[in-house]
Amino acid sequence: MDCIHLTGIRCYGYTGYLQEEQVLGQWFEVDLRLWLDISKAAKTDAIEDTIDYRSTISLVKHLVKTSKFSLIERLASTIADSILESGDRVTQVQVILRKPAAPIPDFDGTISIELTRTKSHAV
């Protein structure tokens, strides 16, 4: 199976356990790996035979901007399920969701969630 990578999707959102995170918001970064058959698109050079990266990126940005979940685990899962439900082409998706500035005292690192879902696991 072929794989398309979309990396560095950066957007502002309101998911977080603390009340301040859901009110003030923060930056998130998302990387995607999308498994699908791109052999037809490789021959036809037609966007109709693959996925439109623009719509996938827009979907991710919309979900990050409008969701107000307590946990980034839920946001990552929602992104994966939404991509799988958005069309027939993608059969598996990997989402890496990063929270670069987590509000944890004395922690300057990044928290990230990585999950992989297949069509059969989409809700």
| Residues catalogued as catalytic | 99
Which two three-digit tokens encode residue 93?
């998706």
Give the list of residues 6+ apart from residue 43 with CB closer than 8 angstroms, or none.
none
DSSP at 106: T
CB 99 within 8 A of CB 110: yes
Which two three-digit tokens encode residue 73?
């685990």
Which uninterrupted H or E stretch holds 99?
A: strand 92-99
CB 84 within 8 A of CB 90: yes
Q: Work out the angle at residue 95's Cα, subtended by the Cα atoms of residues 25 and 72, and round it to the nearest 5 degrees.
A: 35
